[in-house]
Chains A and B, each alone.
Chain A
């Protein structure tokens, strides 16, 4: 079971995770991470832009690498694009496996690569207008963990 998507409107992670878990009968464990837009001081909205020919294909390549690296039964990777408000879900990654370590590590692996290397550009709206978010040094350190 492999479900990789970009969504341009608000989603409720539970409505994805339930069916995903059901679609992997016999699993030994499922690990899920949901990221939400943080309530940072002064941030009114977050906008994620992408480049259609690269972004979703890049997520599929990342899924291929996760399947090659870990013993997975299923992988769900859903990412928002467009305008979001604080508190809204922005990303959901769920991995199903026979053994917990593969599920947990696959989610960690996918999240580090989504944060550090996926084709998304973010800007946030504050009282004085829109501000682009620059890459963080920590993103590269997170990626380096995976060699």
Chain B
């Protein structure tokens, strides 16, 4: 299982904070294709950052998630 974590307003678009994905390995394009278009479009935009297992990734398009990974989808912060 791959665990997707939706932060901020992405949780509203996703209908929940987390989503378990059975497929593994999972590429970025496969991840986008598995989500509703309205959510995938926001996640694909430059303003959404991605962390895998707590580490920010520089190039989200290059990620390949494997079983047990946690992918966090991070919209722009609204600060402290």
Q: Name A's B-contacting residues (CB within 8 A).
A: 35, 48-49, 51, 53-54, 57, 79, 90-91, 111, 114-123, 132-136, 139
Total A-B Cβ pairs within 8 A: 65
B9–A132 touching, CB < 8 Å: yes
A134–B76 touching, CB < 8 Å: yes
The answer to the question of B43 belonging to the interface, with a C-beta cut-off of 8 Å to chain A, is no
A135–B78 touching, CB < 8 Å: yes
A51-B51, A54-B54 given as contacts; is B8 within 8 A of A118 (CB)?
A: no
Q: With A49-B8, A90-B80, A120-B79 given, name 10 new contacts (CB 8 A).
A: A53-B53, A53-B70, A115-B80, A119-B7, A122-B78, A123-B8, A132-B8, A133-B78, A135-B76, A135-B77
Q: Kindly provide the distance from the CB of B1 to the nearest chain A CB, expressed in whole angstroms.
A: 18
Q: Kindly provide the distance from the CB of A135 to the nearest chain B CB, expressed in whole angstroms.
A: 5
Some 9 contacts from A to B, beta carbons below 8 A apart, are: A49-B8, A51-B72, A54-B56, A54-B74, A116-B79, A118-B79, A119-B7, A121-B78, A135-B76
The answer to the question of B5 belonging to the interface, with a C-beta cut-off of 8 Å to chain A, is yes
Q: Name the residue in B74, B78, B79 with the highest tally of chain A Cβ atoms < 10 Å from its Cβ.
A: B79
Main SS of the interface on chain B? loop
Chain A contacts of B74 at CB under 8 A?
51, 54, 119
Chain B contacts of A49 at CB under 8 A?
7-8
Chain A contacts of B5 at CB under 8 A?
51
Q: Kindly provide the distance from the CB of A128 to the nearest chain B CB, expressed in whole angstroms.
A: 15
Chain A contacts of B9 at CB under 8 A?
121, 123, 132
Q: Kindly provide the distance from the CB of A42 to the nearest chain B CB, expressed in whole angstroms.
A: 18
Bitwise, B66-78 to A at CB < 8 A (1) or not (0) is 0000101011111
Q: In residues 23-79 of chain B, which contact A (Cβ within 8 Å)? A: 51, 53-54, 56, 70, 72, 74-79
B78–A132 touching, CB < 8 Å: yes
Chain B contacts of A35 at CB under 8 A?
80
Chain B contacts of A122 at CB under 8 A?
78-79
Chain A contacts of B56 at CB under 8 A?
54
A49-B8, A54-B72, A132-B8 given as contacts; is B53 within 8 A of A117 (CB)?
A: no
